[in-house]
Amino acid sequence: MSAVVLDRVTFRYPASATAALVDISLVVNSGEIVALIGATGSGASTLLLVTAGLAPGGGVVGGELTGEVRRDGRAALLLPTPWTQVSGMAFTVWDEVAFGPANLGWPRERISESVDRSLTRVDVVHLRDRDPGTLSGGELQRVILAGVLAMEPAILLLDEPTAELDPAGAALVWRLIRELAQEGMAVVVATSDIDALPESVDRVVWLERGRVRTSGTTRQVLAGEDLWEPDAPGSTSIAGVWRRAGLPGPVPLTVPDLVSRAR
């Protein structure tokens, strides 16, 4: 079932001569994980804002949109900078995570269950009584992610969710994303963490100057030679090593790929 449908979407920020998104069509099904990759300014973050209904609209980001955006269910967006996402109304981590569900007017019992479950999923239960203002960037990013998950969205939009995290934290987030998709959530993630994609996402969309350059399965997109062009995002580290070594044949994307090829 389609959770997100973007049909020929073009978006221009106010007072901008060029469109940030041009003729984008994208369908994301429930239970599917789609990664958006691209160089800085490619439009991945804008695509998430448009998908969330925040651009244009909501009185926050202006602009002009043509085409159609359809969402089947509530969408939640995680922005890349955790300190700008703190609600300002919570003095403990538990309250911070409960901020979203409380805004939805849920009964307290449901809020409590959802918050406790989210804290556990993101492995921040030990922080529950801390003041959000005293957390590190990585801790805060996980707390905000817990807050987003506590709202039980049907569509999860993540903008560089692992940017503030250490390797263990990043691995946890990618595992969690996979679990959420298995539970039926549609996930769209804009990321520079290309190494994580082969084992974490179903499809990859490569954006270039607001347009879809290539889209397809992870292997179809990440094994392409054109990803190594100047201003392209590049592929996985393993694919890069393989390419630099001038080795022939299908490009391995992961360590297990490489090992199986070597054998």
Pick the stretch among 34-42, 77-85, 176-184, 195-203 that binds another protein (CB under 8 A). 77-85
Measured from the CB atom, the residue of 188 and 222 that comes closer to another protein is 188
106 contacts another protein (rule: CB under 8 A):
yes
* Position among 11, 19, 32, 99 found at the interface with another protein (CB under 8 A): 99
Measured from the CB atom, the residue of 101 and 169 that comes closer to another protein is 101
CA angle 106, 185, 30 (to 5 degrees): 125
Q: Helices 255-262 and 237-244 sit at what angle, rounded to 10 degrees? A: 40
Q: How far is the CB of 71 from another protein (least distance, A)?
A: 13
* Position among 88, 167, 248, 249 found at the interface with another protein (CB under 8 A): 88
Q: Which tokens belong to 192?
A: 């520079």
* Position among 1, 15, 17, 60 found at the interface with another protein (CB under 8 A): 60
Q: How far is the CB of 77 from another protein (least distance, A)?
A: 4
Q: How far is the CB of 221 from another protein (least distance, A)?
A: 28
* Position among 81, 192, 214, 215 found at the interface with another protein (CB under 8 A): 81
Measured from the CB atom, the residue of 53 and 250 that comes closer to another protein is 53
103 contacts another protein (rule: CB under 8 A):
yes
* Position among 39, 61, 163, 255 found at the interface with another protein (CB under 8 A): 61
131-160 residues in contact with another protein (CB under 8 A) are: 133, 147-148, 151
Binding site for another protein (CB under 8 A): 49, 52, 54, 58-61, 75-77, 79, 81, 83-92, 95, 98-108, 111, 133, 147-148, 151
